[in-house]
């Protein structure tokens, strides 16, 4: 499960002070000094029980006329410090099962009951309310390829626990899996999120806990949407690029996206089957297993 960080500190920090304190050392979750420094400033920010409410009221009063560039707001996530360097800071709002927003939008809108890992590490601290519950698991990321239906025998249940006020944890990339459950009442957590250039190429998975297998990949390949649009438009340059990506791109996820783009141009089932048969022998286990699944789906259609 995520690593619980026991860190007692009664100092109170403003948001800008916490951001500056983390920036001084950056946020590298693999470096213990950097991790401890970021956790210390998150603790101090969490001790400030007025800053978030004051910020939200100020923004509402101004109708967001003075939003900083990149300071994005959504119904659940409040961007407090936008990405820059090696981290950003956000607040997450967690409704209870009985709150209107959950009843109106459904569990999926808030990732409730979605067992998943993360392709980044982050610090989280309970800030307001009783906190959300999670069923925590761990698995061996290096032992999986990432195709749908792949068995994950290393996936094991650890415990069910709650992110209570003041509880500070490190979610570890590619280790911790959690299925989040609603808070008993409206709650808020504060996060320091690690960012790195290679992050977009790292896979993130949804798990089927009952079958102990990968249910889906949650992290699309960077530029995959652009590639699919370009191929859909049909230029020779786009088709050539897609073929080269499908056969030789260093990212298996991007290779799969290229095959999907090429398959989207095949209207006849027989032509799609032939393309996916070619993909099966293209030298990627991830692509081969996904291609096999696509051919099986074609047979059933």
Please state, in angstroms and as integers, the Cα–Cα distance from residue 107 to each residue in 118, 134, 176, 250, following that order: 19, 14, 21, 36
Confidence of residue 79 (pLDDT cuts 50, 70, 90): very high
In tens, the pLDDT along 109-155 reads 777 889 999 999 999 999 999 999 999 999 999 999 999 999 999 99
- Taking the C-alpha atoms of residue 215 and residue 217, their distance in angstroms, rounded to an integer, is 7
In tens, the pLDDT along 193-209 reads 999 878 878 899 999 99
Angle at 177 between CA 172 and CA 180, to 5 degrees: 115
Please state, in angstroms and as integers, the Cα–Cα distance from residue 118 to each residue in 43, 182, 194, following that order: 22, 19, 11
In percent, the amount of the chain with pLDDT more than 90 equals 77
Confidence of residue 72 (pLDDT cuts 50, 70, 90): very low
Global pTM? 0.88
- Taking the C-alpha atoms of residue 67 and residue 59, their distance in angstroms, rounded to an integer, is 8
pLDDT of residue 73: 44
* More confidently predicted of 219 and 50: 50
Yes or no: say if 195 and 86 are a contact pair by the CB < 8 Å rule: yes
pLDDT of residue 270: 95
pLDDT of residue 66: 53
Backbone angles phi, psi at 171, to 5 degrees: -80, 125
**Most confident stretch, 27-31, 60-64, 66-70:** 27-31
In tens, the pLDDT along 172-190 reads 999 999 999 999 999 999 9
In tens, the pLDDT along 85-117 reads 899 999 999 988 888 778 887 777 777 889 999
Q: Look at residues 192, 76, 215 and name the one whose alpha carbon lies nearest to residue 144.
A: 215
Q: Look at residues 107, 76, 96 and name the one whose alpha carbon lies nearest to residue 191.
A: 76
Q: Which two tokens stand for residue 250?
A: 């260093």
pLDDT of residue 107: 77
In tens, the pLDDT along 157-167 reads 999 999 999 99
- Taking the C-alpha atoms of residue 21 and residue 53, their distance in angstroms, rounded to an integer, is 22
In tens, the pLDDT along 266-277 reads 999 999 999 999
Burial of residue 147, with CB atoms counted within 10 A of its CB: 0-12 exposed, 13-18 middle, 19 or more buried: buried
Strand order of the β-sheet with 168-171 is 3-4, 168-171, 122-128, 187-194, 87-94, 77-84
Backbone angles phi, psi at 107, to 5 degrees: -60, -35
Backbone angles phi, psi at 97, to 5 degrees: -60, -30
């Amino acid at each position: 499960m995520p690593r619980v960080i026991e860190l007692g500190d009664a100092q109170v920090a403003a948001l800008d002070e916490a951001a500056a304190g983390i920036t001084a050392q950056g946020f590298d979750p693999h470096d213990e000094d950097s991790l401890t420094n970021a956790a210390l400033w998150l603790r101090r920010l969490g001790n400030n029980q007025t800053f978030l409410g004051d910020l939200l009221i100020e923004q509402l009063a101004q109708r967001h006329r003075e939003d900083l560039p990149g300071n994005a707001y959504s119904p659940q996530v409040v961007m407090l410090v936008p990405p820059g360097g090696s981290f950003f800071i956000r607040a997450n709002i967690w409704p209870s099962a009985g709150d209107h927003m959950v009843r109106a939008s459904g569990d999926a809108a808030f990732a409730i009951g979605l067992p998943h890992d993360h392709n980044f590490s982050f610090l989280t601290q309970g800030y307001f309310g009783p906190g959300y519950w999670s069923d925590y698991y761990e698995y061996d990321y290096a032992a999986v390829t990432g195709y749908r239906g792949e068995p994950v025998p290393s996936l094991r249940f650890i415990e069910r626990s709650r992110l209570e006020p003041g509880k500070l944890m490190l979610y570890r990339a590619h280790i911790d899996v959690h299925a989040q459950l609603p808070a008993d009442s409206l709650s808020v957590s504060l996060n320091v999120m690690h960012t790195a250039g290679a992050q977009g190429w790292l896979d993130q998975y949804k798990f089927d806990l009952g079958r102990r297998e990968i249910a889906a990949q949650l992290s699309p390949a960077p530029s995959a949407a652009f590639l699919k649009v370009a191929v859909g438009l049909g230029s020779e340059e786009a088709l050539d690029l897609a073929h080269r990506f499908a056969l030789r791109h260093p990212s298996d996820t991007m290779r799969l996206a290229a095959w999907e783009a090429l398959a989207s141009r095949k209207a006849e089932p027989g032509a799609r089957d032939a393309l996916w048969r070619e993909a099966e022998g293209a030298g990627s286990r991830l692509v081969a297993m996904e291609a096999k699944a696509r051919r099986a789906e074609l047979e059933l259609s």
